[in-house]
């Protein structure tokens, strides 16, 4: 199997890469276009977000956002029951899915039963997580992503590199190339407005054919059974109102108690996510179209996905459930900025992805073995998080939970280490041996080839054998 799919512009589609996480970082590091694109995006996010902190008091809003979300997670079962009852009162259907497969079965079955041929989707990480597109396409349905970034990725055959900005790793000329291939003509402009206009034209045609619209949910408001969908393009409004059926897919943790809480979180979300004090569109949807209303779907289905979330309540990872999926930790992360989200090989990337992916997939999953270790624990993520999740602490806990041949091997080494380093005499003996080895290996004040785990060090850098080091 070919491990790399090449886009026609020569870039690598990292989501299709095989190999270890480390291998994927090596490939990504070699891609200078990718690095340029990520740097530009992260720098622009940083400037806008700093403005939010300076002019709109984002830092002061964090504490309340944190408190709200912690309380939501503690009250989760009650909030979900209330949410469910209110959606049903409003004429909607609620389905609680234990996992992604169950959610996909329900949605695919519904589409089949209603004779749907085309499904229009707005951006949703939950549907990425449950692999809904694959399920729908596997049953012969056509799926159209209507978020600009998601549509670009659909054309490229790639997965999102960022929670909020899925195609942030691509630049304008790469996008123009994809559009030309899709349209089968070179007659696609490559300025920003021209590209957007082109996408709008192509996508509008699809809306007319779609029998079902699938959206995600940014927040569920329990007191009224309303789902909030935040967006900047207006496509989610069409997805949720144009087709006959609207299916909203919500991770079970995304529920707040009431509008007072929702108003606060809906303010914090775009500030942290894109450095905007308000999102362009906030869609508030309570059930299907009611009698006398001019538009809206005939059917509204809310699919609430557990997918491993419920089991995290009451554990040392509970705080991860308060995430509002703003993506701020990605933009702040030196690792994400260096290799992009696709190298992570999981729907959720960056620090929050490195924490939750193993939790959702289980301790012996490949993601668990690798992802929590791809961090220097620099703490920039925890600092950026608008709901105060201590991501660097969760990463350490996730490492302790990982179970693989590698971690077991490291466990044995650390057991020996611990025996030696807890007693002063054996510690000093170890240090004496180490310094002898260093001196023996050193040449001109530097060691360039260390044995054992030190090989990981000297593979890319030298070790000073005298301090302060020589030039």
Partner 1 sequence: MRTCLSDAVAPSVWKSAKRVLERAGVEVKVPRSQTCCSQPAWTAGHPDQARAVARHTLQVFAGPEEVVVPSGSCAGMVVHAYPEMFKGEPEEEAALDLARRTIELTQFLARHGLDPGPAAPGPVTLHDSCHMLRVMNENESPRQVLASGGCEVREMQHTDRCCGFGGVFSINFPELSARLGEEKARAAVESGAHEVVSCDLGCLMHIVGVAHRQGIPIRARHIAEVLDT
Nearest to partner 1 of 44, 139 (CB atom): 44
Query: Which are the contacts of 337, defined by CB distance < 8 A and separation ≥ 6?
Result: 38, 39, 42, 331
CA distance 99 to 101: 6
Asked if 44 interacts with partner 1 (CB under 8 A), we say: no
Map 335-356 to HEC letters.
Answer: HHHHHCCHHHCCCCCHHHHHHH
The residues in 400-419 that bind partner 1, with binding defined as CB under 8 A, are 400-402, 407, 410-411, 414-415, 417-418
Cα separation, 213 vs 121, in Å, equals 6
Nearer to partner 1, 238 or 335 (CB): 335
CA distances in angstroms from 10 to 3, 16, 19, 121, 172, listed in the order given: 15, 15, 20, 28, 14
Q: Is 435 in the site for partner 1 (CB under 8 A)?
A: yes
User: Is residue 343 within 8 Å of 14, Cβ to Cβ?
Assistant: yes
How many residues belong to the site for partner 1 (CB under 8 A)? 59
Residue choice 173, 209, 315, 376 for contact with partner 1 (CB under 8 A): 376
H or E segment at 228?
A: strand 226-231
| Residue nearer to partner 1 on the CB measure, 25 or 232 | 25
Cβ proximity to partner 1: between 326 and 371 the closer is 371
Instruction: Give which of 302, 298, 253 is closest to 94, Cα–Cα.
Output: 302
Report the nearest approach of partner 1 to the CB of residue 243 (Å).
Answer: 44
Cis peptide before 298 (omega within 30 of 0): no
List helix spans (H) across 95-224.
100-113, 125-130, 132-138, 148-156, 172-183, 192-209
Radius of gyration of the chain (CA): 24
152-160, 195-203, 208-216, 395-403 -> range binding partner 1 (CB under 8 A): 395-403
Applying CB under 8 A, the span of 142-150, 214-222, 266-274, 452-460 interacting with partner 1 comes to: 452-460
Task: Report if residue 358 touches partner 1, rule: CB under 8 A.
Answer: no
Least spacing, CB of residue 374 vs partner 1, in Å: 6
10 Å CB burial of residue 247 (0-12, 13-18, 19+) is buried
Smallest separation, CB 431 to partner 1 (Å): 5
CB-CB neighbours of 198 under 10 Å: 20
Q: Does 340 bind partner 1 (CB under 8 A)?
A: no
Measured CA to CA in angstroms, residue 165 lies from 323, 364, 384 at distances of 17, 30, 17
Given 258, 277, 383, 449, the residue binding partner 1 (CB under 8 A): 383
Among 1, 193, 293, 471, binds partner 1 (CB under 8 A): 471
Spatial distance between the Cα atoms of 151 and 446, rounded to a whole number of angstroms:
52
Among 110, 136, 335, 356, binds partner 1 (CB under 8 A): 335
Nearest distance from C-beta of residue 399 to partner 1, angstroms? 3
Member of 85, 98, 431, 436 binding partner 1 (CB under 8 A): 431
Task: Name the minimum Å distance from CB 453 to partner 1.
Answer: 5
Q: Per CB under 8 A, which region of 98-106, 178-186, 191-199, 388-396 contacts partner 1?
A: 388-396
48/139 with CB nearer partner 1? 48
At residue 229's C-alpha, the angle toward residues 228 and 234, to 5°, is 140
Q: Going residue by residue from 163 to 202, which x/- string records binding to partner 1, judged by CB under 8 A?
A: ----------------------------------------
Residue 373 lies near partner 1 (rule: CB under 8 A): yes
Closest to partner 1 by CB, 40 vs 209, is: 40
Burial class (CB in 10 A: 0-12, 13-18, 19+), 2: exposed
**Which residue of 382, 387, 391, 394 would you call a contact of partner 1, by CB under 8 A?**
382
Tokens of 34: 């990718």
**Nearest one of 132, 430, 86 to 286, comparing CA atoms:** 86
Shortest reach from residue 363's CB to partner 1, in Å: 11
CB 90 within 8 A of CB 287: yes
> Is residue 334 close enough to count as binding partner 1 by CB under 8 A?
yes
Of 15-34, binders to partner 1 (CB under 8 A) are 21-22, 25-26, 29
Q: Distance between CA atoms of 158 and 24, rounded to whole angstroms?
A: 15
Q: Binding marks (x or -) toward partner 1, 206..235, rule CB under 8 A?
A: ------------------------------
Rounded to whole angstroms, how far apart are CA atoms 416 and 455?
Answer: 19
Closer by beta carbon to partner 1, 68 or else 402: 402
Nearest to 463 by CA among 452, 450, 141: 450
Q: How far is the CB of 4 from partner 1 (least distance, A)?
A: 17
Contact residues: partner 1, CB under 8 A:
21-22, 25-26, 29, 334-335, 338-339, 372-380, 382-383, 392-393, 396, 398-402, 407, 410-411, 414-415, 417-418, 421-424, 427, 431, 434-435, 438, 446, 448, 453, 456-457, 459-464, 467-469, 471
């Amino acid at each position: 199997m070919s491990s790399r799919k090449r886009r026609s512009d020569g870039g690598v589609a990292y989501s299709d890469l095989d190999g270890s996480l480390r291998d994927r970082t090596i490939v990504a590091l070699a891609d200078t276009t990718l690095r340029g694109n990520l740097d530009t995006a992260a720098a622009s996010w940083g400037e806008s977000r700093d403005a939010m902190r300076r002019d709109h008091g984002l830092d002061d809003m964090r504490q309340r956002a944190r408190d709200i979300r912690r309380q939501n997670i503690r009250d989760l079962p009650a909030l979900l029951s209330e949410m469910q009852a209110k959606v049903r009162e409003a004429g909607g259907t609620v389905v609680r899915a234990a996992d992604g497969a169950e959610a996909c079965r329900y949605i695919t079955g519904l589409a089949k039963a209603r004779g749907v041929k085309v499904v229009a989707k707005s951006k949703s990480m939950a549907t990425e997580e449950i692999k809904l597109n694959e399920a729908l396409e596997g049953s012969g349905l056509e799926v159209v992503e209507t978020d600009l970034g998601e549509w670009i990725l659909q054309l490229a055959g790639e997965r999102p590199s960022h929670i909020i900005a899925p195609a942030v790793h691509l630049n304008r000329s790469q996008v123009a190339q994809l559009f030309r291939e899709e349209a089968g003509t070179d007659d696609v402009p490559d300025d920003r407005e021209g590209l957007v206009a082109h996408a709008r034209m192509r996508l509008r045609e699809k809306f007319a054919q779609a029998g079902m619209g699938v959206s995600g949910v940014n927040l569920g408001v329990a007191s009224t059974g309303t789902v909030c969908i935040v967006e900047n393009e207006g496509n989610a409004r069409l997805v949720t109102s144009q087709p006959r059926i609207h299916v909203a897919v919500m991770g079970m943790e995304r529920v707040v108690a009431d509008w007072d809480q929702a108003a606060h979180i809906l303010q914090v979300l775009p500030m942290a996510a894109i450095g905007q004090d308000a999102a362009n569109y906030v869609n508030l949807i309570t059930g299907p179209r009611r009698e006398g209303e001019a538009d809206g779907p005939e059917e509204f289905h809310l699919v609430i996905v557990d997918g491993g979330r419920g089991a995290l309540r009451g554990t040392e990872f509970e705080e991860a459930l308060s995430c509002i999926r703003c993506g701020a930790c990605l933009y702040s992360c030196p690792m994400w900025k260096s290799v992009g989200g696709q190298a992570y090989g999981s729907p959720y990337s960056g620090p929050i992805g490195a924490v939750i992916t193993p939790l959702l997939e289980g301790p012996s999953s490949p993601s668990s073995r690798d992802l929590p270790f791809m961090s220097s624990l620099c703490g920039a993520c925890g600092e950026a998080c608008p709901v105060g999740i201590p991501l660097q602490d969760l990463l350490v806990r996730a490492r302790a939970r990982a179970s693989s041949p590698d971690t077991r091997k490291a466990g044995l080494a650390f057991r020996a280490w611990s025996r030696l380093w807890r007693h002063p005499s054996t510690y000093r003996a170890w240090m004496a041996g180490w310094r002898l080895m260093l001196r023996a290996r050193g040449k001109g004040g530097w060691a360039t080839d260390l044995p054992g785990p030190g090989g990981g060090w000297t593979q890319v850098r030298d070790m000073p054998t005298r301090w302060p080091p020589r030039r």
